[in-house]
């Protein structure tokens, strides 16, 4: 996926842009930035980590009972105080997605591991997460922040893994503020 992103950036002449990703998309963005840091001005990593592992039980549930897997996923995605409307919209979106697509997304996440490759990263980076994220806990974002020189860490209260849906204003303000710091 990261190779595809790099190819697209080159094809479209988007070098020196800011690359961002959310969850497994953050892993893709991180991999692309680690592979070609000179192509970017900055990096946004939202609700992600340097290594993303998925419980075996979730893969089993996904294979056996997709509706139950969706409900389990929603419990992990959202904070307890999340808007019921946001949760229901996510539920409806997941129900139209093929279980194979969800499986492949989580399989890709499970394969990702950049723990040992972050040390030399100096690209201006915003690491953002929800304070109540159970899927990619705050400690994942803290690790990214500790390993990426000069990075900024923002932990948004009253939000889980779906920080962009639960706290969109705070998320957008953090991103806008970061973008204004870039040369």
For residues 31 and 18, what is the distance between their CA atoms, to the nearest angstrom?
A: 14
Number of separate domains in the chain: 2
Do residue 86 and residue 127 come from a single domain? no
Tens of pLDDT, residue by residue over 48-64, are 999 999 999 999 999 99
Closest C-alpha to 121, from 83, 97, 149: 149
Do residue 28 and residue 88 come from a single domain? no
Domain with 88, as residue range(s), is: 56-107
For residues 57 and 166, what is the distance between their CA atoms, to the nearest angstrom?
A: 27
Do residue 71 and residue 91 come from a single domain? yes
Do residue 75 and residue 130 come from a single domain? no
Do residue 157 and residue 119 come from a single domain? yes
Do residue 47 and residue 63 come from a single domain? no
For residues 106 and 178, what is the distance between their CA atoms, to the nearest angstrom?
A: 29
Give pTM, 2 decimals.
0.94
CB-CB neighbours of 93 under 10 Å: 10
Tens of pLDDT, residue by residue over 39-52, are 999 999 999 999 99
Q: 112: helix, coil or strand?
A: coil
């Amino acid at each position: 996926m990261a190779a595809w992103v790099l190819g697209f950036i080159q094809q479209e002449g988007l070098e020196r842009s800011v690359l961002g990703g959310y969850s497994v998309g953050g892993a893709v963005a991180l991999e692309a930035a680690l592979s070609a840091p000179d192509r970017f001005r900055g990096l946004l990593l939202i609700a992600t980590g340097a290594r993303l592992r998925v419980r075996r039980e979730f893969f089993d549930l996904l294979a056996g009972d997709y509706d139950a897997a969706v409900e389990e996923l929603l419990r992990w995605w959202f904070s307890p105080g999340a808007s019921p409307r946001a949760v229901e919209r996510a539920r409806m979106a997941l129900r139209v997605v093929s279980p194979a697509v969800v499986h492949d997304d989580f399989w890709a996440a499970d394969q990702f591991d950049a723990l040992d490759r972050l040390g030399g990263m100096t690209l201006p980076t915003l690491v953002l997460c929800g304070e109540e994220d159970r899927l990619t806990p705050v400690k994942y974002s803290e690790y990214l922040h500790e390993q990426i020189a000069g990075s900024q860490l923002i932990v948004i209260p009253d939000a889980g893994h779906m920080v962009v849906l639960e706290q969109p204003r705070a998320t957008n303000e953090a991103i806008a503020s970061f973008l204004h710091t870039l040369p």
